[in-house]
Structure 1
Amino acid sequence: MDGELISIVIIEDDAGLCRAMERLFRLSGFVTRSFHSAEDAGMSQYVASAHCLVVDIQLPGASGPAFYGTLHAPRPPIVFITAFDAPATRHAVASAGNHALLAKPFLGAALLKAVDEAMRRND
């Protein structure tokens, strides 16, 4: 992906956290597009071309893992985030394909590392 802008799609219903992640990614050289639920209009075109998704588990409407399960192959890599790190949450993530899961609050460096690792696994 040398020279190519790497796009990250964020689906997070907490506006403050969403802005913080957008800022972190932009300062790190990524292009972002954010949505507040898995049902937001116009989201599918951005998801299809994203290099990675960062998706909250608990969203209004469809959950993060349920949303990811509806995507057609090849699906972009994903990092799930949650404020409710419990066995049921970990099971939902494992059922969606055993992707990265970060518990809120997390450090920006941890998020960047998880996104990098997700994209590397997907190559």
Structure 2
Amino acid sequence: MPPHTDVLIAIIDDDDSFRTAMGGLIRSLGYKAAGFSSAEAFLDARSDCHADCLVSDIQMLGMSGIEMKQTLNRDGDTVPVIFVTAQTDAVLSRRVDECGGLLLLHKPFDGQHLIDGIHRALDRFPQSN
């Protein structure tokens, strides 16, 4: 899918440097990026932030990324979510699959894997803009 300036990718992570780095990578692909320091901050802003894809950490203070995806599911929001984590928990892949996550990347990861996941998300779930 070619880059579109109307596509918004939301980055949800409590690590400022990760959000900054991922925002730069996403903007270099021609997409808009919006960063949120928590799942709650994203959920509070989602009526104003119509993201086409989410990149979310799993383990954050407060609500986890998986709990956020479950909330989105309950609300009927089908935005694709790419999860990232520094955890090595063997059950995470299963939990991501069960909640409908598109992809799980383990930090540190090759940026190309994230790029491929974003393209896959946008191809499977075309934006409504």
Same fold (TM over 0.5): yes
CA distance in 1, matches of 2:30, 2:48: 18
Post-superposition offset of 1:98? 4.6
CA distance in 2, matches of 1:119, 1:62: 26
Q: What amino acid is aligned across from residue 37 of structure 2 in structure 1?
A: H
Once the two structures are superposed, the pairs formed by residues 32-111 of structure 1 within 5 Å of their partners are 32-40=33-41, 42-47=44-49, 49-71=50-72, 72-111=75-114
CA distance in 2, matches of 1:22, 1:98: 20
CA distance in 2, matches of 1:38, 1:94: 19
Which residue does the alignment assign to 1:7?
8
Aligned residue-pair number = 122
The reply to whether residue 21 of structure 1 matches residue 22 of structure 2 is yes
Structural RMSD (CA):
1.9
Post-superposition offset of 1:75? 1.8
Is the CA contact (8 Å cut-off) linking 2:81 and 2:101 kept in structure 1? Answer: no
Which ranges of structure 2 fall in alignment gaps of 5 or more residues? none
In the superposition, the TM-score normalised over structure 2's length comes to: 0.84
Q: Secondary structure at the match of 1:101?
A: strand
CA distance in 2, matches of 1:104, 1:69: 22
Q: What amino acid is aligned across from residue 44 of structure 1 in structure 2?
A: R
CA distance in 1, matches of 2:124, 2:32: 20
Q: Secondary structure at the match of 2:40?
A: coil
% of aligned pairs identical? 34
Is the deviation greater in 79-88 or in 34-43? 34-43
Deviations 1:52-108 (A, max 9, x none): 000001011111011011112232111000111322211220121152001100122
Which ranges of structure 1 fall in alignment gaps of 5 or more residues? none
